[in-house]
Amino acid sequence: MKTLKKRRRVQVILMSIAALLVATVLIGFAFKDGINYFRSPSEVVAEPPKPTEVFRMGGLVEEGSIIRGQGETVRFVVTDGGESIPVAFKGVLPDLFDENQGMIGTGRYVDGVFEATEILAKHDETYMPKEVVDALKEQGLYQEAEDS
């Protein structure tokens, strides 16, 4: 009788471990496409990602770089003060998107151009995404906003 109980207990434990392993693998595959890493323009130039890799890139929109083409395509340049990356975006830009303002885009880096599928802009006068602030601080270009 004891050997049957021991055998059942071992079987239950092994099945539980197998179920946990399968669940962990499935969760890993689910997150694989959902995680977008943030990079600054300097990091993109230093280590260009694969054309198939989706990631987030942010910085300041260079002054005089916004070119609105025919149709929905908008081209502009994003910089962190160290490097600049041209960006192409098809779609409608956020209302607060402007030159010399912080932005974060999601997309791919293909043939030297960041092809954005989503653009996020600052939402008020003093806000800038944390990733952009950190990248600008590394370059020595970030200045704290003065309270008025």
Q: For residue 147, what pLDDT is reported?
A: 46
pLDDT tens sequence across 65-120: 888 877 788 999 999 888 999 999 998 888 888 888 888 999 999 999 999 999 98
Q: For residue 128, what pLDDT is reported?
A: 64
Q: For residue 18, what pLDDT is reported?
A: 96
HEC letters along 73-140: EEEEEEECCCCEEEEEEECCCCCCCCCCCEEEEEEEEECCEEEEEEEEECCCCCCCCHHHHHHHHHHC
Between these two residues, 147 and 104, which has the higher pLDDT value? 104
Q: Is residue 9 scored above 70 in pLDDT?
A: yes
């990602």: which residue's tokens? 49
Give the pTM. Answer: 0.64
């092809």: which residue's tokens? 115
Quick one: which of 57, 101, 93 has its CA closest to 72? 93
pLDDT tens sequence across 126-146: 556 677 777 777 777 666 654
